[in-house]
Structure 1
Amino acid sequence: MRTNDDRGEPRPGADDRRVLTIRDLSVEIRRGDRVVRPVSGVGLTLDRGETLGIVGETGSGKSMTGLAIMGMLPSGGRVTAGSIDLGGTELVGLPPARYRALRGNDIAMVFQDSMTALNPTRRVGEQVAEPVRLHRGATKRAARARAEELLALVGIPRPAERMDDYPHQLSGGMRQRVMIAMALVCEPRVVIADEPTTALDVSVQAEILDLLDDLKARLGMSMILVTHDMGVIARHADRVGVMYAGQVAETGPTAALFERTRHRYTHALLSSIPSLTQDRREKLFSVPGAPPDLAVVSAGCPFAPRCTAATDRCREERPTAAEDKGGHTYACWHPVSGPTVRSRPAAVLSVPSPSTPSAEQEEPKAPRLQVLDLVREYPVGHRRLLATRRTVKAVSGVSFEVAAGETFGLVGESGCGKSSLGRMLVALDRPDSGEVRFDGTPVSGMSSRELGPRRAQLQMMFQDSNASLDPRMRIGAILREPFAIQGIGSRAERAARARELLRDVGLPAGVLERYPHELSGGQRQRVGLARALALDPNVLVADEPVSALDVSVRSQVLNLMRRVQHERGLSSVVISHDLAVVRYLADRVGVMYLGKLVETGSTQEVYAAPAHPYTAGLLAAVPEADPGPPRPRTAARLRGELPSPLDPPSGCRFRTRCAFATEVCATTEPEPTALDGTHRVACHHPLRSDAARSVELTAR
């Protein structure tokens, strides 16, 4: 094997098994007078054919470590100490020209956001072919052939046609596959996948991760998988490195780290994860506080301010690395002992259990919100003479009810119509037909003047808290604005109410004088919830309320939403593609596919015995934070892409991805059929509870 010295020249003695060695790596980023140290003394190794998972909260240094390996640190960033050895080539101090020769050829990166990472002005085939032309000197024709081969390898249908598409013409899952093809086209030794599935649905996420595993094995590569999802790490990493405040807190084989977690931070992360078996009476464990400011150097353990077991020694002296058998190392003065995966700390909420209803719960409640046969279609393109205008069929005949104090969950893949439906529920959008009734009164067809007095009772918590908060307004002004619009209270009363709202969502009064960009993601999401609750609404629609948050912050926001909903008696609709989140928050659930509700029922009924193959496939794709033998699945994972809502399949819209589809599925649309209790399913061949656990859904 060829080895190099510090300047890229050959040197003997490299270990053929070890492809990457990081020793005592430190990085600093200078912004004016402020110096941030996102990576401090990191040491990691990667062997041939191995997947190393790097996990931690936002700001822990995961992505910055990957960028340091790639030699792509942001402006003002530099490696201040340490070594990065790629198969005998020292990367720290390597001349830029030599680094460019390695980047894309020997090491490659799959970036988190495929839409921004791909050039929107160039066709995808050109972008995949470019590394082959640069690094291998291939002709334009040969590079195009190689690019087409890679697009087929990563599972893109009709790759020859897709070569000439632009990124915006592809779905999120397809764009991510293009990113993978770009990274693998030169068959690099090491691939760094930085949050490759964060923005994707659970079904697409499972496909992408399985694809990476398969390609890694077939091409003999090694992979660094950067993520904050412990379930992804459990199923796809051979070894794990847990990072906190720019340092490696714990590292070791995946099974050993999950079963015998030693560092208090790792234990807290695992304890914060909602699962499909979570008891809804229990409060989710959350890590107190927030990650430290990386511009401030602490003398002791950086996790000490958030650790319940911290002592004076933790605050004054940095822990040294200790090692268990099997290469399991950790840096903690008071390590956890014993198995931890199935022993999560929890506090019981004072919320009645849905499995043991009280006498009050047994009495039927009048619907607070009624959704009756809603239809919403969006025209696309330009009308041509004598031509029928095409429409996106976002919502197609959806009906359900939400009782006072009840939480209804909506789940499904991106593009199924969840968010379009949510906007109609709060009268931000009008349906083409059907209606929404609030306390028996139709609101979907009201004029703006008629809707005005009722607008305060229908509120929405938006998915992107950063985009939904005005960056030019301080938080205090944002919270006072609803009262000013409705003409409620004096200036002093509005200011007092803003302080109360912050207190209700667990934020200090000092936040009132800050701008949105000065807050963390979790704090902004709390402000979004406070603003939605300002006018004491009766109905709250929460659209992906925690999808962009770290697991520790997510548990805090979920606990807050449960508490507020219980205290105020809110009727809530929670929209999410995270099935564990919906199971924790919702009393009843509706599963949407391509604009239609295919299954509804109580959360317990639907999750315990899914009747629709699509629901079973979604549940099967949920990654578990447990590297042991997987629990019994209701079906195999979903395959294939969601059909275009411009031209949905005839009959049952799911039939093109269903293993049970027959002729009747192609000709006749299934009607909702009642099963046990409140459980209803729209399927010609519903799964039974016994068969659902043994059948495998395969792609057609």
Structure 2
Amino acid sequence: MDLESDRVLAIRDLSVEIRRGDRVVRPVSDVGLVLNRGETLGVVGETGSGKSMTGLAIMGMLPAGGRVTGGSIDFGGEELVGLPAARYRALRGNEIAMVFQDSMTALNPTRRIGEQVAEPVRLHHGASRRAARERAAEVLALVGLPRPAERMDDYPHQLSGGMRQRVMIAMALACEPRVVIADEPTTALDVTIQAEILDLLDDLRSRLGMSMILITHDMGVIARHADRVAVMYAGRVAETAPTPVLFGRTRHRYTHALLSSIPSLTHDRDERLFSIPGAPPDLTVAAPGCPFAPRCEAATDRCQEERPAASAEDGGHVHACHHPASGPADLVRSRFTARPAAPAERPAEPRLRVVDLRREYPVGGRGLFGGRRTLKAVSGVSFEVAAGETFGLVGESGCGKSSLGRMLVALDRPTSGEVIFDGEPVSRMSARALGERRSRLQMMFQDSGAALDPRMRIGTILREPLAIQGAGGRAHRTARARELLRDVGLPESVMERYPHELSGGQRQRVNLARALALDPAVLVADEPVSALDVSIRSQVLNLMRGIQAERGLSSVVISHDLAVVRYLADRVGVMYLGKLVETGTTEEVYGTPAHPYTAGLLAAVPDADPQARPPRGARVRGELPSPIDPPSGCRFRTRCALADELCARTEPLPRPVTGTHQVACHHPLRPLEPAGISPKGVSQS
């Protein structure tokens, strides 16, 4: 048991309510948490579980209409509930600091980053402008911002997402606080940058003697970086335990279901992901019983009527469940039966063929020698997709995945190269000829909220593509819209609702239904589940797998989430700075990666297993170079431990590892086929 002398923060029976007109939301109810000196407490749960609101209550930053209605927040012997505003301002940013989720909105776009990092030092320590600026440069260097002295006068929009997040961390650490609350600090970041940021937080916590509350919905992040875990559901703590204990001896049924919903790099691809039925409860209603009971397979009448009390076990393991689980996630899963096996031999004419595709965008200003500068988004990409096959595209943000996806469905024209659909070059077709084939090429967009017209009801949104293509009368289109909603698991009542009235998961189902309205032959899904909770994500992924199996769709799935792509794709292409560096079957690319970049991506994936810790040295380090001025030779060489003069001088061409596995690397991690030995490279112009 933890000694009280080690406690930095103790929360007891904390309750929060937020008044919105006549409605009262209770996002936090009777929460109890303890944070010890030098430890990381992971707080995990779905959106709406109360994680962030608990953090804001600690910071005294509840939204308008919000107030603490009960309980205690003890910070080093000082009670924070009811603390005068002046005293809270003295603590915030000095003793307790917060790293917010969205660095772009948290940073002031009108102020230089040096000023923003220096501000808390001037406010809390009374430092001069010069001394505060020196401290800002020191802290920016501490968090690993490249060339911090040069970046001090940049504005937030001039930095990448990873750099902005480092600036956010630097602001939080400028006054060396005792407690840092990191609220989803890596949600919007690539797996490589996520790993760097989390390692950075771990390192700084150890070096500076801080304690940290890590708020996230990613159980893999918790497994790798938290000492103890608190699982929240419907504003309450469902289970808390040391990390190895919770993952090895899961007790609460919600934690059990949450762990079962996660796609992993070892998941059987023919087995459906477990998905939690239903949705979290309405927090405006004080219902009796266990809040998870309506979604729990083990629930009984007692669960519906009596709220479970917290039960403590050895090792500091506490849970509130009438029917606790017996160990690691072991829920029964069903298997896909209709999914066709990937063909052993490639057909003579694939459904989709991409030949040396390139896309460049002019940018402002001129280069060193006066020429017009261009952003090289896609630089000579070639691959094929067979009928009924799913091809996955993985890579970091900025590597050209989304630009490539838009060209595949003819939303953008390539600068050069071809997209050939069923033997016809759609990239060169006239607008009229392309319009006749548009129904066969559809896209599922990343942001379902932005992709659906907020002024249109769902029924109108689903009828619209049918109306544009002149498919039947209104009665036929309405019947088709109802059929599509049934196909994606939504009730017909959704027809009369607007997008803002739906949850994120429901909107993404509507997004998929609209893409399927015209029975496409090819579906391009751009980050289809990146914004969804783990439980909703599993529902959408199962839905996509099932629909593809039933309809025989050819699909291209674009994502930086390697576990998602492994679950959906038959073959995979790894993109780096506009080029495909490795292609192969899913088993080949994930099981025996041949390119150092692929191996680095896989090493950075957080696994929901505290014992699964890949070698740190294998990860990809540093920032992605600019696609305006990519490195000569191999574009990955500036981040590769194996790079030499050949890599700087000569661009590597794709070479076979096996008959279905290719890699573009001068120093591959796997032996090549004899026929593929060392063709002469092509100099990078």
TM-score relative to the length of structure 1: 0.94
Amino acid at match of 2:355: L
**Structure 2 partner of 1:313:** 302
For residues 425-479 of structure 1, the C-alpha deviation after alignment (integer angstroms, 9 at most, x for no partner) is 0000000000101001000122211111000110000000001011111111100
Match for 1:170 among 135, 138, 159?
159
Match for 2:655 among 673, 676, 679?
673
For residues 280-308 of structure 1, the C-alpha deviation after alignment (integer angstroms, 9 at most, x for no partner) is 11011000010011101110000000000
Are 1:263 and 2:245 matched, yes or no?
Answer: no
Amino acid at match of 2:561: D
What are the residue-to-residue correspondences of 1:450-489 with 2, within 5 Å? 450-489=433-472
For residues 525-572 of structure 1, the C-alpha deviation after alignment (integer angstroms, 9 at most, x for no partner) is 000000000000000000000000000000000000000011111000
3-state secondary structure, aligned to 2:588: helix
Deviation at 1:586, TM superposition (A): 0.2
Are 1:234 and 2:223 matched, yes or no?
Answer: yes
Contact 2:657 2:670 in 1 (8 A): no
Amino acid at match of 1:395: V
Deviation at 1:384, TM superposition (A): 9.8
Are 1:111 and 2:100 matched, yes or no?
Answer: yes
3-state secondary structure, aligned to 1:267: helix
3-state secondary structure, aligned to 2:658: coil
Amino acid at match of 1:513: E
**Structure 2 partner of 1:608:** 591
Separation of aligned partners in 2, 1:294 and 1:684: 57
Are 1:199 and 2:188 matched, yes or no?
Answer: yes
For residues 101-154 of structure 1, the C-alpha deviation after alignment (integer angstroms, 9 at most, x for no partner) is 100001000000000000000000000000000000000000000000000000
**Structure 2 partner of 1:696:** none
**Structure 1 partner of 2:518:** 535
Amino acid at match of 1:173: G
**Structure 2 partner of 1:136:** 125
**Structure 1 partner of 2:85:** 96
3-state secondary structure, aligned to 2:427: coil
Pair 96,369 (structure 1): closer, same or farther in 2 beyond 3 Å:
same
Contact 1:655 1:661 in 2 (8 A): yes
Pair 222,689 (structure 1): closer, same or farther in 2 beyond 3 Å:
farther
Pair 382,628 (structure 1): closer, same or farther in 2 beyond 3 Å:
closer
Amino acid at match of 2:332: P
Are 1:587 and 2:588 matched, yes or no?
Answer: no
Deviation at 1:366, TM superposition (A): 2.9
Separation of aligned partners in 2, 1:481 and 1:307: 38
Amino acid at match of 2:551: R
Q: Report the identity percentage.
A: 80
Amino acid at match of 1:38: P
**4+ residue runs over 2 A deviation:** 351-354, 360-366, 382-387, 632-635
Match for 1:81 among 60, 64, 70?
70
**Structure 2 partner of 1:497:** 480
What are the residue-to-residue correspondences of 1:598-637 with 2, within 5 Å? 598-630=581-613, 636-637=618-619
**Structure 2 partner of 1:687:** 669
Separation of aligned partners in 2, 1:80 and 1:98: 20
**Structure 2 partner of 1:214:** 203
Contact 2:338 2:550 in 1 (8 A): no
Separation of aligned partners in 1, 2:671 and 2:533: 34
The alignment covers a number of residue pairs equal to 670
3-state secondary structure, aligned to 1:108: strand
Are 1:44 and 2:33 matched, yes or no?
Answer: yes
Deviation at 1:363, TM superposition (A): 6.8
Q: Unaligned 5+ residue runs, structure 1? A: 1-13, 691-700
Amino acid at match of 2:112: R
Contact 1:616 1:634 in 2 (8 A): no
What are the residue-to-residue correspondences of 1:287-686 with 2, within 5 Å? 287-338=276-327, 340=328, 343=330, 345-351=332-338, 364=347, 366-382=349-365, 387-630=370-613, 636-686=618-668
Deviation at 1:633, TM superposition (A): 5.8
Deviation at 1:96, TM superposition (A): 0.7
3-state secondary structure, aligned to 1:16: helix
Pair 15,277 (structure 1): closer, same or farther in 2 beyond 3 Å:
closer
Separation of aligned partners in 2, 1:49 and 1:511: 49
Amino acid at match of 1:226: I
Deviation at 1:361, TM superposition (A): 5.2
Amino acid at match of 1:664: L
Separation of aligned partners in 1, 2:226 and 2:331: 22
3-state secondary structure, aligned to 1:349: coil
3-state secondary structure, aligned to 1:456: helix
Amino acid at match of 2:511: G
Contact 2:352 2:422 in 1 (8 A): yes
Deviation at 1:89, TM superposition (A): 1.0
Contact 1:111 1:117 in 2 (8 A): yes
Deviation at 1:174, TM superposition (A): 0.3
For residues 660-685 of structure 1, the C-alpha deviation after alignment (integer angstroms, 9 at most, x for no partner) is 11111001000000111300000000
TM-score relative to the length of structure 2: 0.96
Separation of aligned partners in 1, 2:367 and 2:511: 43
Amino acid at match of 1:486: Q
Amino acid at match of 1:24: D
Contact 2:241 2:316 in 1 (8 A): yes
Pair 386,603 (structure 1): closer, same or farther in 2 beyond 3 Å:
closer
3-state secondary structure, aligned to 2:206: helix
Match for 2:261 among 266, 272, 278?
272
Separation of aligned partners in 2, 1:421 and 1:647: 19
**Structure 2 partner of 1:187:** 176
Contact 1:321 1:332 in 2 (8 A): yes
Separation of aligned partners in 2, 1:345 and 1:148: 54
Deviation at 1:688, TM superposition (A): 2.1
3-state secondary structure, aligned to 1:122: coil
Larger CA deviation: 377-386 vs 517-526: 377-386
Contact 2:240 2:317 in 1 (8 A): yes
Separation of aligned partners in 2, 1:635 and 1:119: 35
What are the residue-to-residue correspondences of 1:147-158 with 2, within 5 Å? 147-158=136-147
For residues 606-665 of structure 1, the C-alpha deviation after alignment (integer angstroms, 9 at most, x for no partner) is 1110000000000000000001253x6697111111001110000000000111111110
Contact 1:374 1:431 in 2 (8 A): yes
Pair 579,433 (structure 1): closer, same or farther in 2 beyond 3 Å:
same
3-state secondary structure, aligned to 1:552: helix
Contact 1:61 1:244 in 2 (8 A): yes
**Structure 2 partner of 1:160:** 149
Amino acid at match of 2:102: D
3-state secondary structure, aligned to 1:279: coil
Pair 606,351 (structure 1): closer, same or farther in 2 beyond 3 Å:
farther
Separation of aligned partners in 1, 2:269 and 2:288: 40
Contact 2:339 2:546 in 1 (8 A): no
Contact 1:281 1:351 in 2 (8 A): no
Separation of aligned partners in 2, 1:539 and 1:392: 28
Pair 383,203 (structure 1): closer, same or farther in 2 beyond 3 Å:
closer
Contact 1:133 1:143 in 2 (8 A): yes
Separation of aligned partners in 2, 1:500 and 1:447: 33
Deviation at 1:349, TM superposition (A): 1.1
**Structure 2 partner of 1:69:** 58
Pair 363,156 (structure 1): closer, same or farther in 2 beyond 3 Å:
closer
